[in-house]
């Protein structure tokens, strides 16, 4: 079965399809999570991700890669874990920011940078990063090609990275 068929089967309550999906995707999801989460959090977040997949598979509409959909769920679960454990999500502030004053300054810088965005950039930011929609869905909502969404997202990330003083290598 391909991933789309597996998601449909999971949506219909097939536990074996969920097991297959887990075996296929959990290793790379865990690998990506290890880059930003404490070691003790990775297994919990992967499990919560696939619980969310089990619950939400019936709402999956396709239109993109299943891996992207799964990663979106995993990212949300990671942020939930970080909030629950009183930790700052690493995507929000520079990696060097650890003390509360530095975090507050970084957040203020980010808010200032977001406030300078135009209407189109703000909408792209909201759809792609706040609502965590797939590129294809954002392209359809904004009535622009997917490649344009990607290039604008790239420029948007660069703008926000510059505002936060994050290096070009990221």
Domain count, the chain: 2
Q: Which structural domain, as residue segments, surrounds residue 108? A: 100-164
pLDDT at 90 over 70: no
CATH number at residue 107: 1.10.10.10
Residues 79 and 109 in one domain: no
CATH number at residue 76: 1.10.1740.10
Which structure tokens are listed for 76? Answer: 């949300």
Residue 84: Cβ within 10 Å count = 10
pTM of the model: 0.53
With a CB cutoff of 8 Å and minimum separation 6, the contacts of 2 are none
Residue 142: Cβ within 10 Å count = 16
CA distances from 160 to 99, 118, 122, 166 (A): 21, 13, 12, 8
Which structure tokens are listed for 126? Answer: 């909201």
| Residue 102 backbone class (left: φ over 0; alpha: ψ -120 to 50; beta: rest) | alpha
Residue 91 lies in a domain: no
Cβ(46)–Cβ(60) below 8 Å: no
pLDDT digits (tens, 9 = 90+) for 116-153: 888 888 888 888 877 778 888 889 989 999 999 999 99
Residue 143 lies in a domain: yes
Residue 61 lies in a domain: yes
pLDDT digits (tens, 9 = 90+) for 4-30: 899 999 999 999 999 999 999 999 999
Residue 22 lies in a domain: yes
Residues 57 and 130 in one domain: no
Residues 155 and 106 in one domain: yes
């Amino acid at each position: 079965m391909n991933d789309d068929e597996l998601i449909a089967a999971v949506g219909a309550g097939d536990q074996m399809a969920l097991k297959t999906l887990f075996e296929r995707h959990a290793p790379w999801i865990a690998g990506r999570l290890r880059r930003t989460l404490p070691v003790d959090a990775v297994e919990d977040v992967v499990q919560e991700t696939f619980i969310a997949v089990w619950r939400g598979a019936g709402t999956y509409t396709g239109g993109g890669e299943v891996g992207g959909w799964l990663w979106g769920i995993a990212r949300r679960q990671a942020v939930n874990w970080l909030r629950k454990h009183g930790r700052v999500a690493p995507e929000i502030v520079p990696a060097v920011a650890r003390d509360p004053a530095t975090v507050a300054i970084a957040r203020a810088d980010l808010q200032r940078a977001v406030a300078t965005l135009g209407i189109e950039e703000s909408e792209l930011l909201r759809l792609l990063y706040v609502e965590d929609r797939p590129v294809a869905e954002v392209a359809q909502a904004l009535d622009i090609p997917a490649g344009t969404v990607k290039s604008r997202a790239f420029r948007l990330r660069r703008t926000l990275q510059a505002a936060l003083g994050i290096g070009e290598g990221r």
